[in-house]
Amino acid sequence: MCYIFISNQKMEKFMTIVHHMKCACHRCLCVVSLENAIRKDGKYYCFDGCAEGHERP
C-alpha cells in the first residue's frame, strides 16, 4: 500500500507560518514579518524611518 498522507495538524502548522522577509532598507539587517511591516512602493520596511531612508534621526 502506497499513499501520500498529509495530516491535518501538519497542514495547520503550514498555514500559520508567519512570513518574514528582510527589511528592504540596505542599511538594516532587520527582518520583518509581513503583518507588521511598513509597506512602501511595494517594499517592506521594519519601521517608518526605514521606509523614508533614515532621513529622520
Q: Which of 30, 31, 36, 52 binds Zn ion (CB under 5 A)?
A: 30
Q: Give the Cα separation of 3 and 55 in Å (integer).
A: 57
The answer to whether 31 contacts Zn ion (rule: CB under 5 A) is no
Residue 17 C-beta: closest distance to Zn ion, Å: 21
Which CB sits closer to Zn ion, 18 or 56?
Answer: 56
Q: Give the Cα separation of 46 and 34 in Å (integer).
A: 9
Q: Give the Cα separation of 51 and 46 in Å (integer).
A: 8
Which residues of the chain form contacts with Zn ion (CB under 5 A)? 23, 25, 27-28, 30, 46, 50
